[in-house]
Amino acid sequence: MISTAHRLVNLEDLHQAMRQGRDLLYPSEPKIMIGTATCGLAADAEEVLHAVREEVANSKLPYQVTETGCIGWCSQEPLLDICIPGRPRVTYGRMKPGRAREIVRAIPEVKREWALAMMPGDENTLNGAHVNYCVPHNGHMDGLTAYKDLPLFKRQLRIVLRNCGIINPDNLEEYIARGGYHALWHALRKHTPEEILNEVKRSGLRGRGGAGFPTGVKWQAVRDAQGEPKYVICNADEGDPGAYMDRGVLEGDPHSVLEGMTIGGYAMGAHEGIIYVREEYPLAVMRMKQAIRQAQDAGLLGQSIFDSGFSFEIRVVKGAGAFVCGEETALIRSIEGKVGEPQQRPPYPAQHGLWGKPTCINNVETWANIAVIVQRGGDWFSQIGTAKSKGTKVFSLVGNIENTALIEVPMGTTLAEIVYEIGGGVPNGRACKAVQTGGPSGGCIPADKFDLPVDYDSLNQAGSIMGSGGMIVMDDHTCMVDIAKYFLEFLEDESCGKCFTCRVGTQRLKEIVTRISQGEGKEEDLDLLQDLSWLVREGSLCGLGQTAPNPVLSTLRYFRSEYLAHIRDRRCPAHRCRELITFAIDPVLCNGCGACVQICSGKAILGEKKKPHIITQAQCTKCGACLEMCKFDAVLVH
Amino acid sequence: MPEMEAVKPLLAQFKDERANLIPILQEIQAAFSYLPEEALRRVARKLHVPVTDVYQVATFYRCFSLKPRGRHLVQVCLGTACHVRGGDLVLERTQTETGAGLSGTSPDLEFTVEPVRCLGCCGLAPVMRVDRDTFAHLDQAKVRGIVNRYHPRRKPATVDKIAASPEKVRS
């Protein structure tokens, strides 16, 4: 939907678009919003959307139905929100088409008994504005918890995710209505590039891709570098398994990335931007391309933006499925149409990047911070966070956790606060064992270290890294040897093969850990793992190889006893490593329902109907399907 | 080779620039579901690069296949969140149910099953994607129903894409 028919040239045009956007954001008629980011769609949001549209069409009532991005409440997808003028926004979770129809039919009444939470207004971190949806305490929603009081949202400060789940990502005006593109106007019309650069430096912003290099310093290097043209790249090759914050931003608030990049281009003297998106994110690719078209039509990209004389273009390049392309030099080679092998640094991309020209590469989350820094000032931004890690960080809180969610918290929030308060701890009454941060380059931090504040330096000291922000919570049924094996398989597969130490080192590491997981390990193997890890780290060119041993080293450091249990006792304490476990059926608990027989892939389960079944060990593939199926807890694992 | 006629219009969309190599291969892959050898030769001629360069790129990136793929592409997520919730078992079950086995493609060319490194739906783990549909909160029992839905000779069962009850974790 591109409703801007004309170019936005001056502040008055921007205000005009803002008013149009406000009418869409806060319409005078009831509005129904459905979260249709990839995770919502995976949970059938499309069917809910279809049902709601049909119901509204049938009723011939002037309700608005819009799509929105991900508000981050993943465990409750698909989400549906009702906004009735003068009343708080009400959220419903785990929506089904039938129930959605009932909710629509009930308007203007609100089905309170099904509601999850309500939002009496919204805060906007971009300009500090607050919009009240209703008069507070008017009794409309007594007893329903407000978002700001929910443990999941209470501690959050949403700078990067400011618009996700609030605006319709297909609509430029709604982005502008929330203060969007005002920072760009200010930058281009009121400030010199040097002033913008200094503001970014003052903010203390560090790269959110994982390494945490100061953004302002990088920008200065590109600005000072010899050579024309200069390029600005957005790294949206979010490859870390278990991390999806960039997808959240690209799908939920695409213009925030475009605005940040354009401001960056102005500050560094670049006129071309490229967004490199991984191909596994088709919806993000589509949304970004559409946002670029909208911005071009509105004159927010193209020649002489806001009549400032500054011109900037952005295009999308789709990745082709290679984890290593998240490394900046490999990413550049991929854009050039070559295989994504990392290159020696220096020279850094800031001097010798795309096509040999000065290039600035920042990650999606970094770019999404820029407009806020320009709008509110570097000093405001630098008040948030810790001494050396400023601002907020988005995390995907996943794995064995009650509230799986995409959250944004100030730097310095402790792991305990994130896992137990925001995440609600581990489900099913199990104990929390560890949290894995930083993807394959990171490590596992044990639960007794959860008082650790989350910032770049503390996580490094604990043997992990900030990484892009994936946080995978593991309960006591996760085997740490298995986790190390998992990451080594990943890295062996994704190593580009250029450096011998990485290519062969990850293979050998995997073989040793696999041996241990099968109960074939020796105690000397643990020293061998340490030595080999050192070699892989020291002998590899890029970040992938240099950090490849982290998952092994961190699990060895904190969970050595588990390795020893596999080696000495040939036992997997978590009952995960197949070679070390056996499945059996408890004859007392089994009532012979036959559900396990149906699902067994190895045809290993025998028994007559309504009589206790048995597992023939020779046929059992230990897939655990019988355990999943059994409703009577009759399947035992030793 | 008649099918090569279809490559011509695809190639014509692009300028003869090396940077277009990956986008061109992506178009061919999307149209044919694999990269036929003759198509690679034509791409090399168009871009004035050695065929070995094209081959190198085609074999480096995961989204390209040199062998024909099945009618449906099943991507089973093996991201960390899916792994700790039993994604590897879902993959194994999918390989059995589709008949694709470890070779990746079922003999009837209906399914190609591939592990994928994170679809970014970690909040709903374990997940898999069949063509453009993503399925969430999987367990081994649900896999059969999903495969049947896409299988031409099996009765499609109603599949509950999302479970309301908390998932049972493997012990």
Whether residue B122 and residue A436 make contact (CB cut-off 8 A), yes or no, is no
pLDDT at residue A297 tops 90 = yes
Whether residue B19 and residue A322 make contact (CB cut-off 8 A), yes or no, is no
Q: Which residue of A has its CA nearest to B115?
A: A490
> Any alpha helices (H) in B48-125, and if so which ranges?
51-60, 80-84, 87-98
Q: Which residue of B has its CA nearest to A318?
A: B23
Whether residue A599 and residue B132 make contact (CB cut-off 8 A), yes or no, is no
Whether residue A242 and residue B122 make contact (CB cut-off 8 A), yes or no, is yes
CB nearest to A242's CB, from B56, B118, B141: B118
Residue with tokens 């069917």: A47
Are A599 and A631 within 8 A, CB to CB? Answer: no
- Tell me the pLDDT of chain A averaged across its residues: 94
pLDDT at residue A419 tops 60 = yes
pLDDT in tens, A251-290: 999 999 999 999 999 999 999 999 999 999 999 999 999 9
Q: Give the residue-averaged pLDDT of A292-315.
A: 97
The 3-state secondary structure of A272-305 reads EEEEEECCCCHHHHHHHHHHHHHHHHCCCCECCH
Are A346 and A541 within 8 A, CB to CB? Answer: no
CA triple B148-A53-A17, angle to 5 deg: 125
**pLDDT tier, B158 (very low <50, low <70, confident <90, very high otherwise):** very low
Q: Give the max Cα distance, chain A.
A: 83
Whether residue A486 and residue B80 make contact (CB cut-off 8 A), yes or no, is yes
pLDDT for the residue B161: 41
Whether residue A279 and residue B18 make contact (CB cut-off 8 A), yes or no, is no
What number of C-beta contacts closer than 8 Å exist between A and B? 191
- With a CB cutoff of 8 Å and minimum separation 6, the contacts of B97 are B143, B144, B147
Single-letter residue type at A521: G
| Residue B61 with chain A: CB contacts under 8 Å | 319-322, 339-340
| Residue spans in chain B of domains classed CATH 1.10.10.1590 | 2-60
| Residue A555 with chain B: CB contacts under 8 Å | none
**pLDDT tier, B168 (very low <50, low <70, confident <90, very high otherwise):** very low
pLDDT at residue A138 tops 80 = no
pLDDT for the residue A89: 93
| Residue B127 with chain A: CB contacts under 8 Å | 42
* Alpha carbon of A163: minimum distance to chain B alpha carbons (Å): 19
Identify which of A101, A89, A124, A88 has the alpha carbon closest to the alpha carbon of residue A48.
A101
pLDDT for the residue B162: 37
Range of weakest confidence among A365-369, A500-504, B3-7, B164-168? B164-168
Q: What is the CATH number of domain B72-150?
A: 3.40.30.10
> Any alpha helices (H) in chain B, and if so which ranges?
7-12, 21-32, 37-47, 51-60, 80-84, 87-98, 140-150
Q: Give the residue-averaged pLDDT of A374-401.
A: 96
pLDDT in tens, A577-615: 999 999 999 999 999 998 999 888 788 999 888 899 999
- With a CB cutoff of 8 Å and minimum separation 6, the contacts of A234 are A257, A261, A273, A274, A275, A276, A361, A362, A363, A364, A367
Q: Give the residue-averaged pLDDT of A623-631.
A: 89
> Which B-chain residues 78-137 have CB contacts (< 8 A) with chain A?
78-86, 89, 92-93, 96, 116-125, 127, 132, 134-136
- Determine the Cα–Cα distance for residues A401 and A427; give it in Å rounded to an integer: 6
* Alpha carbon of B53: minimum distance to chain A alpha carbons (Å): 8
- Which domains does chain A show, CATH number per domain? 21-147 (3.40.30.10), 181-382 (3.40.50.11540), 392-475 (3.10.20.600), 480-568 (1.20.1440.230), 582-637 (3.30.70.20)
| Residue B25 with chain A: CB contacts under 8 Å | 320
Q: Give the residue-averaged pLDDT of B20-35.
A: 94
pLDDT for the residue A339: 96
Which site among B25, B54, B84 would you substitute to test the A interface, given the most A Cβ atoms closer than 10 Å to its Cβ?
Answer: B84
- Determine the Cα–Cα distance for residues B20 and B39; give it in Å rounded to an integer: 15
Query: Does residue A138 come out as left (phi exceeding 0), alpha (psi in the -120 to 50 range) or beta?
Result: alpha
> Which B-chain residues 41-80 have CB contacts (< 8 A) with chain A?
56-57, 60-64, 78-80
Whether residue B26 and residue A279 make contact (CB cut-off 8 A), yes or no, is yes
Q: Which residue of A has its CA nearest to B141?
A: A599
Whether residue A478 and residue B84 make contact (CB cut-off 8 A), yes or no, is yes
CB nearest to A336's CB, from B19, B62, B134: B19
Whether residue A623 and residue B79 make contact (CB cut-off 8 A), yes or no, is no
CA distances from B72 to A461, B37, B64, B107, B147 (A): 46, 22, 15, 13, 10
| Residue A551 with chain B: CB contacts under 8 Å | none
* Alpha carbon of A199: minimum distance to chain B alpha carbons (Å): 33
**pLDDT tier, A334 (very low <50, low <70, confident <90, very high otherwise):** very high
| Residue A474 with chain B: CB contacts under 8 Å | 84
- Determine the Cα–Cα distance for residues A596 and A576; give it in Å rounded to an integer: 19
* Alpha carbon of A72: minimum distance to chain B alpha carbons (Å): 9
| Residue A399 with chain B: CB contacts under 8 Å | 80-81, 84-85, 122, 125
pLDDT in tens, A347-379: 999 999 999 999 999 999 999 999 999 999 999
What torsion do the CA atoms of A227, A229, A235, A237 make, to the nearest 10 degrees? -110
pLDDT in tens, A10-26: 999 999 999 999 999 99
- Quick check: bond before A30 cis, omega within 30? no
Whether residue B61 and residue A75 make contact (CB cut-off 8 A), yes or no, is no
pLDDT at residue A84 tops 60 = yes
- Tell me the pLDDT of chain B averaged across its residues: 87
| Sign of the CA dihedral with B112 first, then B116, B121, and B122 last | positive
**pLDDT tier, A139 (very low <50, low <70, confident <90, very high otherwise):** low
Q: For residues A113 and B164, which has the higher predicted lDDT (pLDDT)?
A: A113
Are A552 and A457 within 8 A, CB to CB? Answer: no
Helix, strand, or coil here: A401? coil
| Residue A464 with chain B: CB contacts under 8 Å | none
Whether residue B79 and residue A242 make contact (CB cut-off 8 A), yes or no, is yes
| Residue A429 with chain B: CB contacts under 8 Å | none
- Determine the Cα–Cα distance for residues A293 and A286; give it in Å rounded to an integer: 11
pLDDT for the residue B5: 86
First to last CA, chain B: 55
| Residue B122 with chain A: CB contacts under 8 Å | 74, 242-244, 396, 398-399, 404, 470, 472
Whether residue A240 and residue B168 make contact (CB cut-off 8 A), yes or no, is no
- Determine the Cα–Cα distance for residues A596 and A509; give it in Å rounded to an integer: 37
Tell me which fold the domain B2-60 belongs to. Answer: Arc Repressor Mutant, subunit A (1.10.10)
Give buried/exposed letters for A269-279 (b at 16+ CB in 10 A, else e): bbbbbbbbbbb
Q: Which pair of structure tokens corresponds to residue A298?
A: 């509105």
The pTM assigned to this predicted structure is: 0.94
pLDDT in tens, A422-481: 999 999 899 999 999 999 989 999 999 999 999 999 999 998 888 889 999 999 999 999
Whether residue A43 and residue B22 make contact (CB cut-off 8 A), yes or no, is no
Whether residue A400 and residue B166 make contact (CB cut-off 8 A), yes or no, is no
pLDDT for the residue A141: 67
Q: Which residue of A has its CA nearest to B97?
A: A601
| Residue A78 with chain B: CB contacts under 8 Å | 162
Whether residue A486 and residue B83 make contact (CB cut-off 8 A), yes or no, is yes
Give buried/exposed letters for B76-110 (b at 16+ CB in 10 A, else e): bbbbbbbbbbbbbbbbbbbbbbbbbeeebbbeeeb
pLDDT for the residue B123: 87
> What kind and span of H or E run contains A394?
strand A392-399
Helix, strand, or coil here: A72? coil
* Alpha carbon of A277: minimum distance to chain B alpha carbons (Å): 13
Single-letter residue type at A78: P
**Radius of gyration from C-alpha coordinates of chain B:** 19
CB nearest to A599's CB, from B132, B136, B141: B141
Strand order in the sheet with B133-135: B111-116, B72-77, B128-130, B133-135
Neighbour count for residue A204 (Cβ, 10 Å): 24
Q: Give the residue-averaged pLDDT of A534-541.
A: 96
Q: Which residue of B has its CA nearest to A578?
A: B89
Q: Does B20 touch chain A (CB under 8 A)?
A: yes
Are B118 and A241 within 8 A, CB to CB? Answer: yes
pLDDT at residue A42 tops 70 = yes
**pLDDT tier, B1 (very low <50, low <70, confident <90, very high otherwise):** low
Whether residue B26 and residue A77 make contact (CB cut-off 8 A), yes or no, is no
Q: Which pair of structure tokens corresponds to residue A391?
A: 């601002």
Q: Which residue of B has its CA nearest to A475?
A: B84
| Residue spans in chain B of domains classed CATH 3.40.30.10 | 72-150
Whether residue A623 and residue B162 make contact (CB cut-off 8 A), yes or no, is no
pLDDT at residue A335 tops 90 = yes
| Residue A486 with chain B: CB contacts under 8 Å | 80, 83
Which site among A36, A44, A272, A433 would you substitute to test the B interface, given the most B Cβ atoms closer than 10 Å to its Cβ?
Answer: A44
